[in-house]
Chain A
Amino acid sequence: QVQLQESGPGLVKPSQTLSLTCTVSGGSISSGGYYWSWIRQHPGKGLEWIGYIYYSGSTYYNPSLKSRVTISVDTSKNQFSLKLSSVTAADTAVYYCATRRTGYYRYWGQGTLVTVSS
């Protein structure tokens, strides 16, 4: 079954760009059929969908974050990545990578906490 693992810095300075990578195992991104997504959870709060990418490179972002988000895919490494620019303390959250075939998320990474602080 598909397994996902997030990686990246746990601390980012305000105004800088948050960068995370999700490594996929147990399945190939390039085989198609799955939408590779990022979801975040602010401390003690609910879940917020950030966006997704398909293996072809097509993307769709949450309109509330669209101006700051870029999701990319590297099929040769079986990875996909998140970049969130101009971060503030409000972007402090646990970031999950997850994947779906239809609309619901069956497979999730363990999550990684990113703190925005100087």
Chain B
Amino acid sequence: DIQMTQSPSTLSASVGDRVTITCRASQSISSWLAWYQQKPGKAPKLLIYKASSLESGVPSRFSGSGSGTEFTLTISSLQPDDFATYYCQQYNSVWTFGQGTKVEIK
């Protein structure tokens, strides 16, 4: 299985901050990576697919980059609605998720 490792596990930030979350794959996955946002008691919501393609309806403050084994999700200016847990998911081989990054209020 391809292992996905996210860092950090928890991130404390303030409204307006620029936030970056990293996801590393245990082997190359080309650009076959998605990012999701999950709030407590809710299903994950697709934000980014194919590493950098923004899902329709997702605010442009979210962006993704990377290829191969290293990827980032950036929130350019953190908004109150963005405090949540974020997961990366690879779909190069089978489907595996990172362990999540919780973005909390500083």
Contact = CB atoms under 8 A, between A and B. Distances in A.
Interface of A: 45-49, 62-64, 96, 98, 102-106, 108-111
A106 B98 CA distance: 17
Nearest to A49: B95
Interface string B61-88: 0000000000000000000000000010
Nearest to A96: B43
Interface of B: 1, 32, 34, 36, 42-46, 49-50, 55, 87, 89, 91-92, 94-100
Given A102-B91, A108-B44, A46 B98 contact: yes
Given A96-B44, A104-B50, A104-B89, 15 more contacts: A47-B44, A47-B89, A49-B96, A49-B97, A63-B1, A96-B43, A104-B34, A104-B46, A104-B49, A105-B34, A105-B36, A105-B46, A106-B46, A108-B45, A110-B42
A111 B43 contact: yes
**Of listed A49, A96, A102, A103, residue having the most chain B CB within 10 A:** A103
B66 to A, nearest CB: 15
28 contacts: A45-B99, A46-B97, A46-B100, A49-B95, A62-B94, A63-B94, A96-B43, A98-B43, A102-B49, A102-B91, A103-B32, A103-B34, A103-B49, A103-B91, A103-B92, A103-B95, A104-B46, A104-B49, A104-B50, A104-B89, A104-B91, A105-B44, A106-B55, A108-B43, A108-B44, A108-B45, A110-B42, A111-B43
